[in-house]
Amino acid sequence: MADQTQPWAERTVEVPPQPGVGVPTQRDPYRRGVASVGQPRTPRTEPFPAVDPADWSADSGPRRPLSWHLAQLRRGGEWSAAGGLFAFVCWGIWAISGRGDLSAPLLTFVLSLLTAVGLFALSRLLGRLIWERQLGRVRRSARGAHLVTALFLAGVGVAYLQQTEWVVTAWNWVTGN
């Protein structure tokens, strides 16, 4: 055993020679600047089997569990949530300013949300067709579809505010129009 008082970087351990383990024999005598290449190895894996492209189906990828798909849909959801919150606040300002029955404004807001859900689904479908099938890329989240949905909901919120008279008057006063 090495002396324990020596620093760790200066200690060496003697390993006794083991039978069958040694320096590989060289095919050619040593030549300066030329690497010695060992014996050719057998491949570690089997070659890929021949597959007929006509047998491929549209969904030939690996099957993933439902939890994976739901986690993928949740990524980027903060964008849709922020757009939905903005649209809800703007809708609330518009609905309360109407001073009437809230059933028609509520129906309008629900239809706006359903339209946003349809736009999200359309964005996901276009992403699948273009990003995955045409470009051969893998989608790891739904951020793009959530961003498109958030922009739509922000536009809906601005449209609600443009229909509120006192907000338009205040905006014109601030901007000087």
* pLDDT given for residue 141 in this prediction: 81
**Domain-embedded: residue 12:** no
Number of H helices, E strands in the chain: 5, 0
Q: What is the pLDDT of residues 52-98, one digit of tens each?
A: 666 555 555 677 787 777 777 778 889 999 999 999 999 999 998 88
**Rounded distance, CA 155 to CA 164, Å?**
15
**Domain-embedded: residue 141:** yes
What average pLDDT score do residues 13-39 get? 68
**Domain-embedded: residue 5:** no
**Domain-embedded: residue 158:** yes
**Domain-embedded: residue 79:** yes
* pLDDT given for residue 152 in this prediction: 96
**Domain-embedded: residue 121:** yes
In 3-state terms, the chain is what percent helix, strand and coil (to 5)?
55, 0, 45
Q: What is the pLDDT of residues 106-139, one digit of tens each?
A: 999 999 999 999 999 999 899 888 877 888 787 7
**Domain-embedded: residue 161:** yes
**Domain-embedded: residue 102:** yes
Q: Tell if the pTM clears 0.75, that is, is over it.
A: no
Ranges of H-type helices in 7-76 = 66-74
Dihedral sign for Cα 96, 100, 103, 105, please.
Answer: negative
Q: What is the DSSP string of 94-146?
A: HHHHT-S-SHHHHHHHHHHHHHHHHHHHHHHHHHIIIIIIIT-------HHHH
**Domain carrying residue 77:** 67-172
In the chain, how many domains are there?
A: 1
